[in-house]
Chain A
Amino acid sequence: MTNTNEFINHLASKLGRPTPTETPPPVEISVPQYRLSNTEERASIFLQNWQALGGKGAIVKSENDMLQCLKEWFGDLPITWFKDNPQALIAWDMLPSIAESAFSTLNWPLTRYTQSSLDPRDRYSIAAHAELGITGSDLGIALSGTIVMNSDPLRGRVVSLLPPRHLAFIETTKIRNNLFEVLEEISALGTPPAAIEMISGPSRTSDIEMDLSIGVHGPIEVYVVVIDN
């Protein structure tokens, strides 16, 4: 076990000068960043890129659109799942209100992840046995078809990870052009949350003979509803 000062001083001696006492001036960076002209365009490019990665997605303008879209994707499956497993639909404590009311109208009973059990191991097991994990998103990236989620006591990181299907909601106004804008916005908030998860499509691997295979560990099916508010 080496002591910090000793370790750092050793590096300074290798660099042939004492360790700077102030943050070195940041390097200048100038790269051509990807930009789109408006929210509508960002939403549509985001969706295209998400779909190109193998995710399903739709832009909805009303609760009616939302109902149709959910019915089209899942049909009566949630009801069937529920019969076998009352905790088949596992969700964050709070979802966008239009999504909450769509679930009540459809009568799909959601289990709130953080309240599902007091013991974290039990909660993980509940999420692992669920059929669908339902989350919101904090930000999105149009260029890479990415949703960004910050950890939070009312959420649960595994809701977007353990179930075989992940359904996320994102408002069009939360979609940014590129990763730079997202990171800039997050760093403006001060200390980052314990985990920032950026998800671009389903879990994938090409480890066996470079053959693309979907869903080795994370969700196999990923869905995003873009809410045009």
Chain B
Amino acid sequence: MTMFNLTTDQRVDKALANNFLRQATRRATDRLRNNKYKASDELGNWEEWRNAGETIRKHVIANLDFYLHQLIEQMEQRGVHVHLAKTPADAVGIVRNIVREHDAKNVLKSKSMISEEIHLNHALEEDGAAVVETDLGEYIIQIAGEPPSHIIVPAMHKTRQQVADLFEPIAGHALSSDTPTLTRFARIQMREQFLRGDIGITGCNFAVANTGSIVMVTNEGNGRMVSTLPRVQITLMGMERIVPSFRELDIMLNLLARSATGQRLSSYTTILTPPKKSADSDGPEEYHLVILDHNRSEILGDKLFRTALNCIRCGACFNVCPVYRQLGGHAYGSVYSGPIGSVITPLLEKDWKKWGHLPYFSSLCGACTEGCPVRIPLHDLLVKLRMRKTQSGHTPQVEQQIFKAYRYLFTREKTLRRALRLGAHLQRPFVRNHRITGGPPPLSNWTKSRTLPMVAPKPFMQIWADLNNKR
């Protein structure tokens, strides 16, 4: 994962220099966003649906202990093995043990952001299991050894030719780069894998507390394959991914499909209430549910950021974000990118040194907040995260000094006047057409890509005084 070894600035420069990536990101986000508008408009009153979504999510999070307990009870009563993981390492350990116990050689995966969050594949491969990502986009980035660049379209940054080049060594012959050929290759390749799978690992879009059900949506049908064919199934779930009952599920599924891809419902929406009944002909015989905390409980206890747990992972905020649009997902450096990734990554990972740049990957325009189907105040949370980072003392020395100077000057009128006069004088070598260009660091960090307005030759306070004198 070379992207992870670069600094933030290097990743951003790399993204900005990649024309295909930027074009593809623009095209994809435009398409997804416009589809969402169509699908949300036709519902009649989208705002009422958003209200309902927000109310349900807030209610669930405020009663998360109750609903989680209910879910666990329902599942265990029916013989599902429920595992609770405090940390990513716990979750990886649990899955590893299950895979070892069954001596599983072929592990099939449908899309799961939790598995990305805990970096599961690598650990299983170390144990000698072959792990196959079955979502086409995830399969592509698995071969490339890269993290997803979009939560819904993980291989958005790859050209068809790059995909063909990745598939060719597996196919053992040249492949044309048209989509039907590539899709067909993946279908044939994956078919054999599906029928050989020992264990299936899936994600979970929603868990229904009062029935003990897991809801999974896919468009390709790989989620159905992975949850039907292998004898053992493991579902990975973030602990906040709950709805109380089928009644609320209706709202959430409508919001999810429409916000993610502009569909009324995804091609395959599957509600599993495991394990299979003894007489059922198909379906896994053994079912494990792994519920992950990974500092979600810390977010729950933090009133400033609790709403971040309301997210339903639809990706709508990615598709309206001007920063994401310019950079794509890899520049963020995190598993979750886009506005919601910038919010939850620092909270989940609790490492300002590594993730402190994320709250600044935003113009604070508020488009993410507008676009969110459950009304998470994302841009507001980003500002609050900047505050947290500052309070924790992790901002650069230069920035701290500049703000100290700012405070010093703006609380002393005479000194401020003097400083402005001095500034008007010092800026001279850098002024072109009434704008400041170039200059020494830290000024140059700004001016290398844009200009600053010059300090006015005559300060406003002077103009005001002159006007008064004339009267």
Partner-B contacts on A (CB < 8 A): 1-4, 7-16, 19-20, 23-24, 26-32, 34, 49, 53, 113-114, 120-121, 123-125, 128, 141, 143-146, 151-153, 155-158, 161, 178-180, 183-184, 186-187, 191-211, 213, 215-219
Q: Are B221 and A195 in contact (CB under 8 A)?
A: no
Query: What are 20 A-B residue pairs whose CB atoms fall within 8 Å in the complex?
Result: A1-B90, A2-B86, A4-B69, A10-B297, A16-B301, A24-B244, A29-B247, A31-B49, A31-B251, A141-B265, A145-B264, A151-B282, A191-B211, A197-B270, A203-B220, A210-B24, A210-B31, A216-B222, A217-B187, A217-B221
- CB neighbours (8 Å) of A180 from chain B are 247, 250
Per-position 1/0 for B226-267, Cβ under 8 A of A: 011101000000000000111111110110000001011111
B52 and A211 form a contact (CB under 8 A): no
Q: Are A194 and B246 in contact (CB under 8 A)?
A: no
A74 vs B276: C-alpha distance in the bound complex, in angstroms? 34
Judged by a CB distance under 8 angstroms, whether B134 is at the interface is: yes
In the complex, the answer to whether A157 meets B224 with C-beta atoms within 8 Å is: yes
- B180 in complex: contacting residue of A24, A30, A213, CB < 8 Å: A213
Looking at the assembled complex, report how far the CB atom of A36 sits from the nearest CB atom of chain B, in whole angstroms. 14
**B residues contacting the other copy or chain, number (CB 8 A):** 101
- Set B84, B191, B279: member contacting A2, Cβ < 8 A: B84
> Residue among B83, B156, B179, B270 with the most chain A CB within 10 A?
B179
Q: Which residues of B contact A123 (CB under 8 A)?
A: 281-282
CB contacts (< 8 Å) of A32 on chain B: these are 43-45, 48
> What residues on A are CB-neighbors of B301 within 8 Å?
13-16
Residue in B closest to A178 when the chains form the complex, CB atoms: B250
User: Are B160 and A209 closer than 8 Å at their CB atoms?
Assistant: yes
Bound Cα distance from A34 to B28, whole angstroms: 29
B155 touches A200 (CB 8 A): no
- When C-beta atoms are compared, the residue in chain A nearest to B274 turns out to be A194
Which residues from chain A contact B298 at a C-beta distance below 8 Å?
A: 14
Known: A7-B84, A161-B221, A194-B277. A27 touches B56 (CB 8 A): yes
Which of A157, A184, A202 interacts with B246 by CB under 8 Å?
A184
Taking a contact as CB atoms under 8 Å apart, the answer to whether B136 and A216 are in contact is yes
Contact A209 B159 (CB under 8 A): yes
Is B358 on the interface with A (CB-CB < 8 A)? no
**Contact between B281 and A208 (Cβ–Cβ < 8 Å)?**
no
For the complex, give the distance between the alpha carbons of A187 and B247 in Å.
Answer: 9
Asked if B297 and A14 sit within 8 Å, CB to CB, the answer is: yes
Q: CA of A156 to CA of B219 in the docked complex: distance in angstroms?
A: 20
Contact of B265 among A146, A151, A155 (CB under 8 A): A146
Chain B residues packing against A (C-beta within 8 Å): 24, 27-28, 31, 43-45, 48-49, 52, 55-56, 59, 62-66, 68-70, 72, 82-86, 90, 94, 134-137, 140, 153-156, 158-160, 163, 179-180, 182-183, 186-187, 190-191, 194-195, 210-211, 213, 219-222, 224-225, 227-229, 231, 244-251, 253-254, 261, 263-277, 279-283, 293, 297-298, 300-301
Q: Which residue of B lies closest to A218 (CB)?
A: B221
- Is B245 touching A26 in the complex (CB atoms < 8 A)? yes
Which residues of B lie under 8 Å from residue A120 when comparing CB positions? 231, 281-282
Given the interface pairs A24-B59, A29-B251, A210-B156, the reply to whether A179 lies near B265 with Cβ below 8 Å is: yes
Kindly identify which residue among B49, B66, B82, B282 contacts A156, using a CB–CB cutoff of 8 Å. Answer: B282
Q: Inside 8 A of A199's CB, which chain B residues have their CB?
A: 267-268
Q: A153-B279, A208-B163 are in contact. Are A195 and B270 (CB under 8 A)?
A: yes
- Cα separation A186 to B219 with both chains bound (whole Å): 23
A contact residues around B277 at 8 Å (CB): 151, 153, 193-194
Residue of A nearest to B253 (CB): A179
The answer on a CB contact under 8 Å between A14 and B300 is yes
Question: Least Cβ distance of B347 to chain A in Å?
Answer: 13
Q: Judging by beta carbons under 8 Å apart, are B183 and A194 in contact?
A: no
Query: Could you tell me the distance between the alpha carbons of A34 and B254 in the complex, rounded to whole angstroms?
Result: 12
**How many Å lie between the Cα of A8 and that of B300 in the bound state?**
12
Residues of A within 8 Å of B254, CB to CB, are 179
Report Cα–Cα, A192/B300, bound state, in Å: 31
CA of A156 to CA of B280, assembled, Å = 7
Taking CB atoms, residues of chain B closer than 8 Å to A208 are 136, 140, 155, 158, 160, 163, 179, 182-183
Task: Evaluate contact between A1 and B282: CB separation under 8 angstroms.
Answer: no
Q: Contacts of B253 on A, CB cut-off 8 Å?
A: 179
Q: Are A183 and B224 touching (Cβ within 8 A)?
A: no
- Give Cα A216 to B190, complex, Å: 9
Q: Is B52 touching A31 in the complex (CB atoms < 8 A)?
A: yes
4 smallest CB-CB distances across A and B, nearest first, come from A218-B221, A14-B301, A207-B137, A153-B279
In the bound complex, CA of A53 to CA of B269 (Å): 15
Whether A207 pairs with B136 at a CB distance below 8 angstroms is yes
A29 touches B52 (CB 8 A): yes
Closest to A146 in B: B265
Whether A184 lies near B224 (C-beta < 8 A) is no
B84 — which chain A residues lie within 8 A by C-beta? 1-4, 7
Closest to A203 in B: B221
Chain B hits for A13, CB < 8 A: 301
Please judge, given known A-B contacts A31-B251, A179-B254, whether A200 and B137 are in contact too, CB under 8 Å. Answer: no
